[in-house]
Amino acid sequence: MISKRSSKTIFLLLGILFFWLLFTYHELIGEFSNYIFSILKRDQYDALTTKGSLVLGIIFLSFSSYLIFHRANKIINSGYLILTLIMMIISYNLLFVINIEMIHFVEYSLLAAVLFFYFESFSRTVFYTGLLGIVDETYQYFVTYHNRLEYLDFNDFVINILGAACGALILKLILNSKKEKIALRLLAYDLLVLFSILTITIILVKTNYISFYKNETAKIILNWQANPSFYTMITETKKFHVIKPFFGILIVNFLFLFYFTYDILIYYEEYRKKRIVKKNAK
């Protein structure tokens, strides 16, 4: 029989393998989208993907609502689910260049579902899956599409984190907390990691090693666009927003902190229930 440690190691390796595969087919997705555009008009393609997304969204909402109804902590779970779905809808309408980018939600939902078995914590799973999403997009900017992208895509940072949150929450509800282990000490370490990354980023920006926009002396430029406006127009009717580096850093850190609060709220809710049980037992 496989031990718990061996089981966790297997799921960690599966997560690493899945993440590695994400690196290998970005250009295949681009080629596939080009093929779709060659046989469908953009309006037809958008209508098709919108209908498909609506169907998947209804299935996801129905299934997650069913699970929440039959699990403890209904208010906390439903609150985080609703807020995540609202942010996903906003991202869909504001941040997507083409609708095929919805695959980010699917990719990082699946990755989070696998890694949940290793971390055994909703908040930690979202955090580290989100960090992997940042590594993925940064790798594309500096390596895969080097000199072909105008900006580091903070849009995808956000989309990946939201996808991770959906995958981790659904798996948590399916397992009914049997595989969840909330350790505030580990969350404190993760917060330290987050603030360390933020501190290093601030130092690199202040020393002009990293620049948000084109700068002759900076080593790394995050956005090469000249005078970027709020919206970038694709067609007369289709437009999207490019999250600027400063706001991207703020949004990413906000999302991580927001999802860290989930485990903290669940921990104190369970602690409160235990106190009530002990009090009534006296």
pLDDT at 281 over 80: no
Q: Residue 42 class from Cβ within 10 Å (0-12 exposed, 13-18 middle, 19+ buried)?
A: middle
Residue 226 CB coordination number (10 Å): 8
The CA distances from residue 191 to 6, 129, 195, 256, in Å, are: 27, 15, 6, 9
Contact between residue 65 and residue 74 where contact means Cβ atoms under 8 Å apart? no
Contact between residue 195 and residue 249 where contact means Cβ atoms under 8 Å apart? no
Contact between residue 129 and residue 115 where contact means Cβ atoms under 8 Å apart? yes
Handedness of CA 75, 253, 171, 53 (dihedral sign): positive
Q: Residue 182 class from Cβ within 10 Å (0-12 exposed, 13-18 middle, 19+ buried)?
A: buried
Residue 149 region by backbone torsions, left for phi larger than 0, else alpha for psi between -120 and 50, else beta: beta
Instruction: Name which of 76, 104, 90, 277 is nearest 182 in CA terms.
Output: 76
- Measured between its terminal Cα atoms, the distance across the chain in Å is 42
Percent of the chain with pLDDT over 70: 90
State whether residue 234 is helix, strand or coil.
coil
Q: Which amino acid is at 121?
A: S
Instruction: Name which of 91, 88, 84, 97 is nearest 172 in CA terms.
Output: 84
Q: How far apart are CA 126 and CA 115, in angstroms?
A: 9
Q: How far apart are CA 48 and CA 229, in angstroms?
A: 29
Per-residue confidence band for 180, with pLDDT thresholds at 50, 70 and 90:
low
pLDDT number for residue 235? 67
For 75-116, the pLDDT digits (tens) are 999 999 999 999 999 998 899 877 777 888 989 999 999 999
Q: How far apart are CA 246 and CA 149, in angstroms?
A: 18
pLDDT at 34 over 70: no
Query: Residues 42, 44, 48, CA angle at the centre, nearest 5°?
Result: 115
pLDDT number for residue 168? 95
Q: How many residues comprise the chain? A: 282
For 118-172, the pLDDT digits (tens) are 998 999 999 999 999 999 999 989 988 888 888 999 999 999 999 999 999 999 9
